[in-house]
């Protein structure tokens, strides 16, 4: 159980275009989803916390108008990178929890590698 999927796994786009990444919890309802980015040989950097039916909470320094997050259902959250630039090239990973109070664990998706040309 506790499977999280991401789509696409790999995407290349031109500078200035927008890219949407989907994150789905396949066998549980995810009241909370998290979006991370990871640069080579670095740890995961939390971008935002997304709760179903409400606006995402962004970490300091993350542009909410550039990284649009929608958590429309208990099994789906999307991250849209708007007007992507080469510096947005990174590995984007989502995770999900069932959101119980206290120490619920996060289950991670396989990641999406974004390359902006």
Structure tokens at 58: 């962004």
**27 in Cβ contact with 2 (< 8 Å):** yes
107 binds other proteins (CB under 8 A): yes
Structure tokens at 42: 């670095």
**Segment lying near other proteins (by CB under 8 A), choices 11-19, 63-71, 77-85, 89-97:** 89-97
Figure out which of the listed residues 75, 109, 114, 116 binds other proteins, where binding follows CB under 8 A: 109
28 binds other proteins (CB under 8 A): no
Give how many residues touch other proteins by CB under 8 A.
27
20 binds other proteins (CB under 8 A): no
Position of tokens 């929890």?
Answer: 97
* Size (the chain), residues: 117
11 binds other proteins (CB under 8 A): no
Binding mask 31-50 for other proteins (x = CB under 8 A): -x-x-------xxx-x--x-
Position of tokens 């649009």?
Answer: 68
In sequence order, which residues have a C-beta less than 8 Å from that of residue 68 and are 6 or more positions away? 79, 80, 82
89 binds other proteins (CB under 8 A): no
Maximum separation of any 2 CA atoms in the chain, in Å: 42
Structure tokens at 22: 């989907």
Q: Applying CB under 8 A, which residues contact other proteins?
A: 4, 6, 32, 34, 42-44, 46, 49, 51, 91, 93, 95, 97, 99, 101-111, 113
């Amino acid at each position: 159980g506790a499977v999280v999927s991401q789509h696409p796994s790999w995407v290349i786009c031109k500078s200035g275009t927008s890219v949407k990444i989907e994150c789905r919890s396949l066998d549980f309802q995810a009241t909370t989803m998290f979006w991370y980015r990871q640069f080579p040989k670095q740890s995961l950097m939390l971008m935002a916390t997304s709760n179903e039916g409400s606006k995402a909470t962004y970490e300091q320094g993350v542009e909410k108008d550039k990284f649009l997050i929608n958590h429309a259902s208990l099994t789906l959250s999307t991250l849209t990178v708007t007007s992507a630039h080469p510096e947005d090239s990174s590995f984007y990973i989502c995770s999900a929890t069932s959101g119980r109070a206290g120490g619920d664990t996060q289950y991670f998706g396989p990641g999406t590698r974004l390359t902006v040309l």
